[in-house]
Amino acid sequence: MSVDDLSIGHLITGELFAEAKRQLTICNACRYCEGYCPVWPSLTTLTDISDGDVTHLSNLCHDCQDCFTACMYTAPHEFALNPPEIFSAVRVATYRDYSWPPRPRWARGIPGIALLTAAVIIVVLALAVLLRSDTVTGPHAAASPYHLLPYWALFSVVSAPVAWGAVVAVIAACRYWRDVHGPLGALARPLTWLAALRDGARLRYMRGGGADCTYPGDEPSGSRRSYHLWLVGGLALCFAATVAAGAEQDFAGWQPPYPFWSAPPLLGTLGGLAMIAGCAGLLAGKRASVPGRSAPAMRRADYLLLSSLLALAVTGLLTLVLRSTPVFLAILVIHLGTVITCFAVAPYSKFMHVIYRLLSIYKYRLDA
Amino acid sequence: MPADQVPDGLPASWDVVIIGGGNAALVSALSARDAGASVLMLERAPVAFRGGNSRHTRNVRCVHDEGDDYNTGAYGYEEMWADLGGVGTGTNDESLAKFTLDDSRSVPAWMTAHGAAWQKPLTGTLHLGRTNRFFLGGGKALLNSYYRTAERSGVRVVYDAFVERLDFDDDRCSALTVVSGGEKRVIRPKAVVCASGGFEANIEWLARYWGEAARNYHIRGPVYNDGAVLAQLLQAGAGTAGEERGFHAIAVDARSPKFDGGIATRLDNIPFGIVVNQHSQRFYDEGEDIWPKRYAIWGTNIAKQPGQIAYGLWDSKVTGLFLPPMYGAYRAATITDLAGQLGLDPAVLADTVAKYNAGVPPDAVRKFDPTRLDGVATAGGTPPKSNWAQPLDRPPYFAVPMRPGITFTYMGVRIDDCARVQRADGGRFENVFAAGEIMSGNILSTGYLAGFGMTIGTVWGRVAGREAGRYVGR
């Protein structure tokens, strides 16, 4: 996801933090927004705002945009405050700067993603021809993913990017924490984690202190939070479907295809539909949203993440719906390509907002 | 938002026309609409700056006999009456003031019913959390809610609408000449509510009372508060209420914008250090009383100094104890270096600081307590510093330049208990009502209680809107 161009208006990357500090210094002299979310009470504890503070506050922001509509200092006022926009630009910088190793140049942007997906599909097809020449092209090919690849091979091609993504994400999380807070030891507070996870899962701070978001328009609306919860719930159901399938195979000894009314297809279907509903709602909101309250780079990152998740859900559902037709294996290959690419790219994408935001909620709870 | 920039197809005849776009105007409009009138609001400012001084407000002060989620405790009528009597020269028209307090009891519920959202008392609002009720997100957020409610209920709002002239037919206002979008048109109202604020942004008008000094004042609210409607009413023979030289002013950063700097440019350093004028001399007790009470005296203090400028100084002992200035502070290792940065005479400033330090008691640092009147006072020296008199001796030293920041003016039109504008000759204007800052001089002549402007605007907006609606419905 292209996170290289952080420009908002006249600002270039190097000026981003200076501009954020200019705005936050004015915010800190006003403090009218403190009822909306934890960003503002956290700001009041600072007398000198560091780069780490800017990063922390930006990632703590849930982008409800209430502070923008409440602000008497937005342009054309000469103070020209726009916290949601500057925070979004800083978040894009966070997604870019904290992941290590950095993403290779060729894998960046939409062309990079297309290239990666194509490469993954070619590898999967090559493996299929090598390992399953008997079933992959046969006329009876249907319904079981093991007609495409043997279990160990399928497991490996999916696990490798998952492991890779997890390692990069953990490194990124540690680097982030060192910058915004300090010692990693401060992360060992189970009760604080419990509270932070609750806040995060319920999107507690996307409610504008009870006023709801002024998003996508200037009318208060809870729609974004609802769609986001649908999306996360859908993802969780899809994850549950995978776990259920693993359990049925490894413990019960049942092999796919599973009957439609059993746990894995059912959970997967519900999850996929919820994801599609969530993604569609969020994409529609993004299209309708007032421009200028989010950095262009963040809008691109949003669109890319949402379209990727939509592609995951749609290809996943198609794999299920079309499993007794001749195109099953073809759609399975496409779904696998999407899954593997998404996992590999996730730690460099807006997906990482989950990690950074949770860490910042945890920090807010820790400092409170 | 559905806002007309050019009022094309705007009918000329209306039951009630509200002049203004702030809190009192919106409350009047909503109340007149609730009374069944057709309502047109003429807001002088463009959408981006709508709302007058109310944009910069944050809370409202109402009588309440018990605490709730948004007020930490009871604030009874008697206590509020005492507070009101304790500021400035007290109330002007006692019966109107008493009505204001009485009627304030029902204000929060009315506001909630018309779209207001509230904020629980937090760190930044705690010291006023018992007496004042805070708007979630502040005044502009409240106005946004009111505008949405008004537009939903059929109030027509025209922005960029300057009321150039009010025409009178005996004691009736018969027509308004409105300039909007470069076009002039005549509006014929059955009743008019003037909720267009004071004249604080009209430097020429201020200069009538304050001379050239007025040119150095900063105006904390929008540039549109030039009192054009007030001037029209006075010219038509309206009686006045409130001190003509009266204004509410605080110390703001001299680097802040001339207009509309609002809350962010205020300075809270004064009780923590000393204040000198451009001759490097102290001129007023910086530790006279707890800060919220003395907050509003410093605008006038500085206005009386040569060049209408002063410099607040403090040292490293107290940084972090008060809100950091939004433009930062000048900073130097010695007082003489600081004087150089400020353009003051280094020797004189060093002498002033030395004299002040010499008057500070030896145990000042140990006894210093910013949370109360600590009684740590200078001995001898003029002027004294009666509390928090720590020495300025720990570098680096800090300073900010300060100017008077005018919040609002007091002089307005005289009204009766129906918010009807009274004539200087003893008569009255039959169909002209007033609410908000333009009539606040009826209640307060000088002095101010935080959040009370919004109380006046809401109480009298309800009266003016209701009475205007009743008048046209006769």
Measured distance CA(A341)–CA(B17) in Å, rounded: 63
B277-289, pLDDT tens digit by residue?
Answer: 999 999 999 999 8
Q: Where among B360, B384, B405 does a domain terminate?
A: B405
CB B275 within 8 A of CB B312: yes
Query: Which residues in chain B are contacts of A66 at CB distance < 8 A?
Result: 137, 141
d(CA B404, CA B303): 6
CA-closest candidate to residue B114, choices B21, B43, B30, B24: B30
Handedness of CA B3, B4, B10, B12 (dihedral sign): positive
In a domain, B6, yes or no: no
Q: Which of B382, B405, B428 is the last residue of a domain?
A: B405
Same domain, B118 and B190: yes
Domains of chain B: total: 2
Query: In terms of CA atoms, which chain A residue is nearest residue B49?
Result: A72
- Dihedral of alpha carbons A97, A98, A100, A103, sign: negative
Q: Would residue A238 count as lying in a domain?
A: yes
Whether residue A313 is contained in a domain is answered as yes
Residues of A at the B interface, defined by Cβ within 8 angstroms = 25-26, 28-36, 41, 44, 47, 66-67, 69-79, 208-211, 218-219
Among residues B390, B405, B420, which one ends one of the domains? B405
Sequence-separated (6 or more) residues with CB below 8 Å from residue A288: A216, A217
Determine, yes or no, domain membership for A214: yes
Q: pLDDT digits over B37-55, tens only? A: 999 999 999 999 999 999 9
**Over residues B122-138, mean pLDDT:** 85
- Averaged pLDDT for residues B49-70: 96
What pLDDT score was predicted for residue A139? 55
Are B10 and B39 in contact, with CB atoms under 8 Å apart? no
DSSP labels, A194-220: HHHHHHHHTTGGGSGGGT-B--SSSS-
Give the residue from A8, A172, A176, A197 showing the smallest Cα distance to A88.
A8
Q: What average pLDDT does range B69-97 have in this prediction?
A: 87
Nearest by CB to A32, from B137, B257, B324: name it.
B137
What is the least distance, in Å, from the CA of B264 to any CA of chain A?
5
Mean of all residue pLDDT scores within chain B: 93
Q: Which two tokens stand for residue B329?
A: 């502070």
| Average confidence score pLDDT of chain A | 91
pLDDT of residue B381: 79
How much is the average pLDDT of A125-140?
77
Question: What confidence score (pLDDT) does residue B444 get?
Answer: 86
| B2 located within any domain | no
> Within chain A, what is the greatest distance between any pair of CA atoms?
73
CA dihedral B236, B242, B244, B247 (to 10 degrees): -130
Please indicate, yes or no, whether residues B183 and B56 belong to a single structural domain of this protein.
yes
Does residue A245 form part of some domain? yes
Closest-CA distance, A220 to chain B, in angstroms, reads 9
Task: Give φ, ψ of B277 to 5 degrees.
Answer: -95, -170
Q: Is B1 part of a structural domain of the chain?
A: no
**CATH code of B273's domain:** 3.90.700.10
| pLDDT classification of A224: cutoffs 50, 70, 90 | very high
Token readout for A366 is 């820790």
Q: Cis link prior to B362 (omega < 30° from 0)?
A: no
Do B150 and B202 lie in one domain? The reply is yes
ipTM: 0.93
* pLDDT computed for residue A2 by the predictor: 36
Q: What is the mean pLDDT of residues B407-413?
A: 94
How far B223 CA lies from chain A's nearest CA (Å)?
Answer: 11
Same structural domain, B240 and B263? no
- Can you tell me the distance from the alpha carbon of A95 to that of A97, in angstroms, rounded to the nearest whole number? 6
Domain match, B126 and B206 both: yes
Q: Determine contact, residues B228/B196, Cβ cutoff 8 Å.
A: yes
For residue B245, the one-letter residue type is: R
CATH number assigned to the domain comprising residue B138: 3.50.50.60
Q: Which residues of B touch A73 (CB under 8 A)?
A: 262, 264
Structure tokens at B91: 């109330």
Residue A16 inside a domain? The answer is: no
Is A222 contained in some domain? yes
CA end-to-end distance (rounded Å), chain A: 34
pTM of the model: 0.93
Instruction: Examine residue B4 and state whether it is found in any structural domain, yes or no.
Output: no
* pLDDT at position A181 over 70: yes
Q: Is residue A359 part of a domain?
A: no
**Is residue A32 pLDDT above 60, yes or no?**
yes
A-interface mutation test, from B326, B398, B454, most A Cβ less than 10 A away: B326
Confidence of residue B4 (pLDDT cuts 50, 70, 90): very low
pLDDT of B144 > 60? The answer is yes
Test mutation, A28, A30, A32, A77, chain B, max B CBs within 10 A = A32
B60 and B89 assigned to the same domain: yes
Range of the domain at B22: 13-245+410-472
Quote the domain boundaries for residue A286: 107-147+210-353
Give the number of domains in chain A.
1
CA dist., res. B64 & res. B73, Å (int): 8
Residue A48, in any domain of the structure = no
Is B358 found in the same domain as B212? no
Question: Cβ A77–B48 below 8 Å, yes or no?
Answer: yes
